[in-house]
Amino acid sequence: MRMIQKLKLFEQMVVFMRWATDAEFGKILYVGEDFVEFLALNPETMEYGDKILINSQLILEVMVSGFEISRLIAEMSAKAGNELDIDNFS
């Protein structure tokens, strides 16, 4: 199985991706035959930033689980929970 086929299973998931020129945490938005659309996540602010199109042949590594990914997801969930204003909830 080619890596691009395997990456299609992880669309819309938070991952750590390393490619030829950089490495970032973020979400895989779309996996095509010749590119991957990746939404970079700033780990300090827990906000999404740049949308990056990466040539699939330049991808070196993708981490889909592990301690760092779990920590990021927990922090994103905690931030989303803090933004909910219960007093104005109807």
**Within 13 Å and on the Cβ side, how many CA atoms surround 18?**
3
- Per domain, the residue ranges of the chain are 3-83
pLDDT given at position 38: 96
Report pLDDT for 64.
87
| pLDDT for the residue 81 | 64
Q: What is the pLDDT of residue 42?
A: 87
% helix, strand, coil for the chain, step of 5: 35, 40, 25
Residue pLDDT, tens place only, 29-85: 999 999 999 999 988 888 899 999 999 999 999 998 888 888 888 888 887 766 544
What's the pLDDT score for residue 78? 81
- Tokens standing for residue 43: 């780990």
Please tell me the distance from the alpha carbon of residue 51 to that of residue 16, in angstroms, as a whole number. Answer: 14
Which residues are within 8 A (CB) of 17 and not within 5 positions of it... i.e. 6 or more apart? 23, 24, 26, 28, 36, 38, 54, 59, 61, 62, 63
Domain 3-83 sits in CATH at 2.30.30.100
